[in-house]
Structure 1
Amino acid sequence: MKKELFGICPYVTSQKILTGKWSIYILYLLSRGPVRFNELQRRLPEEMTHATLSRQLKQLEEEGLIIRHEYEQIPPKVEYSLSEIGEKFETVLDALENWGNDYIQWLQKTKSNE
């Protein structure tokens, strides 16, 4: 019988929570401050359907990484922001940015040497 590592191993736990294609980028966008749904959809680099973004946001909310705040007004207004545990992900985002920039430079160097 295989051992379930979710909630035990930090790498498996992190990987399972961040399974959505755009979860890391959504967390990055929300790290810059609260964002409304339509604005979030506009900021994503590829076409994403309303249903797909909604599903991704619900997953991140269920995992406790983001907070959905619904304002009682007409027209309805909903904003998303990082939760307290989501804010702790910002150091990971910084590390990913640094590594990503290093990798981009490596790619460019590799292509120029071909």
Structure 2
Amino acid sequence: MDTNTENKACNCFKDTLNRVKDHLTEQGKVPADAINIGFRWQGQSMILTEGEYSPANPKVEVEFQAAKKGGGHARNKTKIDISIMATHCCYCGREYQRNNA
């Protein structure tokens, strides 16, 4: 994994999305004569501060059955999900350059 931290942006997310588009088109999953085709990362974020950020960040889903005070466990599961802001590109390992001011 490359840990390049120079001030040049990586295009890993864009390139990967294009590879997915090409693959699905070649496999016939997206018909060649289809129109208004859209590909985007699920869970995409818009960050209004300056700096470089990942367009999509990992999401963690948690499920559990909590213990009851009188013993046993709750019938229903508690579900929690959180997104984690990536500090490095998950493809090439390059650290995102951010203005920490």
Could you say whether these structures have the same fold, taking a TM-score greater than 0.5 normalized by the shorter chain as the test?
no
Normalised by the size of structure 1, how large is the TM-score? 0.22
| TM-score, normalised with respect to structure 2 | 0.24
Bigger radius of gyration: 2
Q: Higher helix share goes to which structure?
A: 1
Larger relative contact order (Cα-Cα within 8 Å, sequence gap ≥ 6): 2
